[in-house]
Structure 1
């Protein structure tokens, strides 16, 4: 008997191709005798089914495995909602790049079938917690599997902020912002900003300045247990924004304090047994073989 009996499904509902793959997956799982639980928004995009429906926040309580049909953005959203339940997550790629969702649509039955009989790799990925305080009062928070980003928001202006790592002052920086990225996020926005690619197994965090005014300012890699504090400078004209995985957003003001640290809960990411991080880099990033 498979260790995964109750399987949750989350689909990228605005994508017709994702809905096609979702229906194909539903038919396969039902035919194989698994209990399928649809996330409520996903269920609304699929008609004529008799499957159980649940809010995304409760899937972690009800399921042994959650399968996400969509792009990396869909999986990031699922990770933020499900990490605290320790339920493993598997991705089927119906997006563009697909670093996290690594099963292709034509492999659904074969690769998902292999995972369900125990032929898979499991990786533990950590997330980041972010909070913003103003005059000692909390005004916003969020979590991220990829990155927390400080940026100017709607204005194209340099912003000024102080950075502290583990209570030690690092620098006062004027730049377009700062990316604080996990190894998972090192192949996303941080890579575009000139940051290093980090292997997913590393317990490390990279700080990538965005177009710093001081050209000698470079990415810094620190240990994963580090705690970060950003203090928004009083000379800013723009109101810097802080976002988590490009989704949860808080608008800051001068003097606000942003704190970031590793989340206590980790995500278990499932891959097919033949998954290879370096092959993924070769194929997704166009490396010469």
Structure 2
């Protein structure tokens, strides 16, 4: 068995990665370490499983990088809430036993393809996302975004921007903006306006097979952000096309915890703090 250990760039994660590698190596498992900054689409070592030591941001980048290969990903939470992680650091050594015994499940998480088109220039950018794609103004002005569903104008959002999230991403920025929580098994996307100007603008849950187009109808400085990492400036008239990707993120679950349970825990911790 070959395991790739991806760790975020801090001393705690690096030390833990070395410790895990030593334990697994003593049990005959080949391991290689990869820092967060070293992980790119062109630098994804092959393995039977990828273990991620970090927060949701580290896992999101890893999931996107390994989407085409379909390599299972196990998240160890070194962040705050860790919606995507399966285990906490204090349970890691026990989890290694379960992992080597094959006592785990693999949950498939929907991903989306995101494309940026500009008139006369074709597709300028293409990426894949596990959480969301966000179109947001960089200035203190409202922007207008036209939404087309399967080629038909559906609505126009006027406010700070809009979020298009997968069920996995429904517990991220979309939730903070007032969007609903979708169970990961639901075949749908959620579109959540950010600080809308009109009360009639409400979050929308739509089937995942829909072909979505978001057209920027504003001259103000606006950016497209993908999974909180990639940030691309967009111009008036640009179109962002979003569709369900054939690729999925294969997340290893050792001790399954639902999204609602994670949110409940997050709320309890916030009240305590």
TM-score (norm 1): 0.87
The answer to whether residue 20 in structure 2 is matched with residue 20 in structure 1 is no
Contact 2:113 2:245 in 1 (8 A): yes
Give the Cα–Cα distance (whole angstroms) in 2 for the partners of residues 214 and 92 of structure 1. Answer: 41
Aligned residue pairs total: 268
- In the other structure, the counterpart of 1:226 is 210
Gaps of 5+ in 2: none
Provide Cα deviations, 1:171-224, integer angstroms capped at 9, x if missing partner. Answer: 122111000000001111000000001111111100000111111110010111
- In the other structure, the counterpart of 1:7 is 3
Q: CA RMSD in A?
A: 2.0
Moved more, 220-229 or 138-147: 138-147
* Cα offset, 1:281, TM superposition: 3.0
Pick from 99, 102, 109 the counterpart of residue 83 of structure 2. 99
Contact 2:36 2:58 in 1 (8 A): no
Quick one: structure 1 residues 173 and 279, their matched pair in 2 at CA, closer, same or farther if it must change by over 3 Å? closer
The answer to whether residue 59 in structure 2 is matched with residue 75 in structure 1 is yes
Indicate the SS of the match to 2:248: strand
The answer to whether residue 270 in structure 2 is matched with residue 275 in structure 1 is no
* Cα offset, 1:42, TM superposition: 5.9
Pick from 226, 231, 234 the counterpart of residue 249 of structure 1. 231
Contact 2:159 2:193 in 1 (8 A): yes
Give the Cα–Cα distance (whole angstroms) in 2 for the partners of residues 276 and 42 of structure 1. Answer: 25
- In the other structure, the counterpart of 1:140 is 125
Quick one: structure 1 residues 42 and 144, their matched pair in 2 at CA, closer, same or farther if it must change by over 3 Å? closer
Pick from 132, 136, 149 the counterpart of residue 134 of structure 2. 149
Give the Cα–Cα distance (whole angstroms) in 1 for the partners of residues 37 and 141 of structure 2. Answer: 43
Gaps of 5+ in 1: 45-53
- In the other structure, the counterpart of 2:246 is 264
Give the Cα–Cα distance (whole angstroms) in 1 for the partners of residues 237 and 41 of structure 2. Answer: 36
- In the other structure, the counterpart of 1:63 is 47
Give the Cα–Cα distance (whole angstroms) in 2 for the partners of residues 119 and 280 of structure 1. Answer: 22
Indicate the SS of the match to 2:128: strand
